[in-house]
Structures are given as structure tokens and as C-alpha cells.
Amino acid sequence: MRVVLQRSLCANVKVDGKVTGQIDKGYVLLVGLTHEDTEEDVRYVAEKVANLRLFEDEEGKMNRSIFEEGGSILSISQFTLYGDTRKGRRPSFSEAAKPDVAKPLWDLFNEELRKLNLQVETGVFGAMMDVSLTNDGPVTLIVESK
């Protein structure tokens, strides 16, 4: 499992021109799953994301969690995170989980974040989405299960 986390001041996702998810301060998560991922991977990454300290304290150090900041999460499924560009000009997506595997794991990931008392908004699995965000910092990290 691979998640690109971007700390944001505000963000939204639209499908066919309609907003399906919107947050103020928090994280935008681009979530990629591979065919080897398990529920254990999903729970590990959810816990890791929820407890990272990426917001500044009074001294300007990244020492506050999303809980302390009162932030929200916008979660977007992103199979292209497993695109392999080592050969040729067109990426191979053979490492990305098929939709029948990826969707239940992405749904579980979002539910695990909610169980941790985070507000989670989402895109639409498998849809063409327009994602807008104001990156805060910028702070961008990759969180992986393996």
C-alpha cells in the first residue's frame, strides 16, 4: 500500500463537475493499493497517517497531529501510484490491485480512519476526478506499508 499525503489548507474533489468530497485544513491522501496488500497493511497505514505529527507547534516544529489540529482527510483512490515507468514510454500498471481487490481495501482504509475519530471525505472509486488543493508548506510525504 502506498499513500501520498499532502498537508493542505483546503481541498476538494469533483466528479462530473459535482463536489463529492471537500475539507478545510487537513490531509489529502492519494491511496494506491497493490495485489499483495492485506487488511493488516491497511490498518497499519491508517494508524500511521492518523498519528503522524505534521503540523507546527508554537515553536514552529512539526509536533502536532491532525487530531490536535482539528483537521480532516480527503481520501482519493489512485491506482497510478503503482505505475512502473522503467520500460518504454507508457507505464505498466500490473502491480496495481484490480478493482475487485482495491475497492474493498480502500473502503476499509477510510473506515479505519473514521474509527480513529477522523472526518474522512472521499472521491469516487474508479471515476475520473478533478482534485483541487492548496498544499500547506508544502508538506508532502509517502507512507508505505512495506
Which active-site residues does the annotation give?
Answer: 78-80
- Spatial separation of the C-alpha atoms in residues 114 and 100, rounded to whole Å: 22
Report the Cα–Cα distance between both ends of the chain, in Å, rounded.
Answer: 7
Q: What single-letter DSSP state applies at residue 122?
A: E
Distance of CA 83 to the CA centre of its chain: 16
Q: Which DSSP helix (H) or strand (E) runs through 62?
A: strand 62-65
DSSP-derived 3-state class of residue 91 = coil
- Spatial separation of the C-alpha atoms in residues 146 and 76, rounded to whole Å: 20
- Spatial separation of the C-alpha atoms in residues 125 and 108, rounded to whole Å: 13
